[in-house]
Amino acid sequence: MITDQGEGLSDSIFGSDEELFGEQRQVAHYFRFTEILTGRIYSPHDTPDAPPTGPEIDVRWENAYLIDPNASVADYARYPDTAVYEHAVTFNDAYAELLAHLEIAFNGMPRFMILGVPAMLRLREHAERLYCNPHPDPAKGRRGYCASATFEIDHRQISCGHEVASARVRTARLKVEEPVDLSGVEPSCSTV
């Protein structure tokens, strides 16, 4: 599935961006997680079916955020401090928007995938806003759990994500072989 969507090649640890887009050769995202888990980077001749054999990397697990994998927006809504709940909803809004951009790109308009880059970067910002908060459940917070993204989207968020992504496509006027200027294509759901 991952290689079908352009991330990596079936017989290589390297991403397909070099072949598809002429970019510098780099280890595919999927394999970067293995590098973190094993504490080693891949060497140029490593293969997908074996762990990395390259130099060790310094992975500081104490800096990782402990999260509840079953966290939900509904859980966050139960607590009096609504900041985490609001951050989770905002993250999920941005997630729905990113998915809408990907859907447009994978359904016949690959040139427009670039318009999803700002949404992807915002998603990271929203995730960081969540992770810097203790879990709103006092018991989980005391055990060191942090708030986290829930990746839940409802019909309203899907609809809004499609509205925003479609508005960007309409205003971008991208043409083949021209540079992409993203400065004028930042509508929000409330402006479309």
Helix, strand and coil content of the chain, in percent to the nearest 5, comes to: 50, 5, 45
Strand partners of residue 67 = 146
Q: How many CA within 13 A on the CB side of residue 123?
A: 18
For 145, which DSSP code? E
Note the pLDDT of residue 123: 92
Dig out the tokens for 98 from the structure: 């990113």
Q: What DSSP element (H or E) covers 37? A: helix 29-38
Note the pLDDT of residue 115: 86
Note the pLDDT of residue 184: 54
Mean pLDDT by groups of 10 residues along the chain of 192 residues: 47 64 72 91 89 94 91 95 95 95 87 86 92 95 95 94 90 69 54 45
Three-state secondary-structure class, residue 146: strand
Q: Measured between alpha carbons, how far is 8 from 6 in angstroms, rounded to an integer?
A: 6
Q: What DSSP element (H or E) covers 66? A: strand 66-67
Note the pLDDT of residue 105: 87
Note the pLDDT of residue 173: 74
Q: Measured between alpha carbons, how far is 74 from 106 in angstroms, rounded to an integer?
A: 31
